[in-house]
Amino acid sequence: MPQESERWRVSLHGGHSGEFCDHAEGTLRQILETAVTAKYHTFGVSEHVPRSAERFLYSEERARGWDLAKITADFDRYAAIITPLAEEFADRLTVLRGFEVEVVPTDSYVEQMRGYRARKLGDGRPVFDYCVGSVHYVREHQIDGRPENWLKAMEATGGPERLAVCYYETVLSMVTALHPEVVGHLDLIKRNAALAGFGELPLDTPLIRRAAIGALEAVRAHGGILDLNTAGWRKGLGEPYPAPWLVAQAQAMGVPFCFGDDSHRTDQVGAGLEEARLYLLRNGVSSLTVLAREPGAEVGSPLIRETIAL
């Protein structure tokens, strides 16, 4: 295990693998072995839940011949193996068993996500330790896949500013309904703006800021932790999620941060972590809030929250 001075090496969002995700590579075991090599202290695996309607299948999944039965079976396999893997790695790495939510279908996702949270193992232990609350859809249009999907979402909401406002409103409603321990990539809405031809568009107008602050208020009210998500750098954004103004706003409101490498293959495990630490420090954040197990506690025991200095 890492030394005390390295306890900030924690990711609570990532660990996606090609076993269970069409846009990931490698096996979950390979991902965890790499997390050990990367000197992680704690590594949260947050595999995507399956979308539950045909219209939400990705074009890449359809091209592979995947259907709802396939992605549901994949997630069930993930749920079955994550506990044995966490137990196997326990002497080298604290593996937290999580999942990343979806907010579709709009009229039924809350019940579905709560159902995943309530799953139990045969011995009564919970299947999952925590969840990452993310918003990948606005009004049932995907906003982080292909740029053309972002454009459709923009058209459905009435323009780029309204799209960003609706995005943060969706984050607020998701957090209020599900109380996720971790809130993922808070300003994901910026990812496809440039690719869709809106690179010069400000995504921090007064209306957008008001909506974002509302989302942050919900995160604070329900005890959530924002992930400082390093994927923004590898997506070519020049910064992680969230942007400096959101980091400053969250810090002023007392909303804590953790790290998320949002890894989808082994070479992304730990990528950007050192830069993320410096980014937080430059923006006035001097500690992380992380999820952990009590020393010696078995997998499935309730998690605790720890504050770790950067």
Mean pLDDT over 182-203 rounds to 89
The CATH code of the domain that includes 18 is 3.20.20.140
Which pLDDT score, from 0 to 100, does residue 45 have?
98
Which pLDDT score, from 0 to 100, does residue 202 have?
87
Which pLDDT score, from 0 to 100, does residue 160 have?
93
Which pLDDT score, from 0 to 100, does residue 145 have?
85
Helix/strand/coil (H/E/C) assignment for every residue in the chain? CCCHHHCCCEECCCCCCCCCCCCCCCCHHHHHHHHHHCCCCEEEEEEECCCCCHHHCCHHHHHCCCCHHHHHHHHHHHHHHHHHHHHHCCCCCEEEEEEECCCCCCCCHHHHHHHHHCCECCCCCECCCEEEECCCEECCEECCCCHHHHHHHHHHHCCHHHHHHHHHHHHHHHHHHHCCCEECCCCHHHCCCCCCCCCCCCCCCHHHHHHHHHHHHHHHHCCCEEEEECHHHHCCCCCCECCHHHHHHHHHHCCCEEEECCCCCHHHCCCCHHHHHHHHHHCCCCEEEEEECCCCCCCCCCCEEEEEEC
Which pLDDT score, from 0 to 100, does residue 206 have?
96
Which pLDDT score, from 0 to 100, does residue 222 have?
98
Which residues constitute the domain of residue 187? 4-309
Which pLDDT score, from 0 to 100, does residue 194 have?
80
pLDDT digits (tens, 9 = 90+) for 130-149: 999 999 999 999 999 889 99
Which pLDDT score, from 0 to 100, does residue 4 have?
54
Which pLDDT score, from 0 to 100, does residue 199 have?
75
Tally of structural domains, the chain = 1
Q: Which range, of 197-211, 214-228, 295-309, averages the lowest pLDDT?
A: 197-211
Mean pLDDT over 23-50 rounds to 97
pLDDT digits (tens, 9 = 90+) for 61-99: 999 999 999 999 999 999 999 999 999 999 999 999 999
Which pLDDT score, from 0 to 100, does residue 3 have?
54
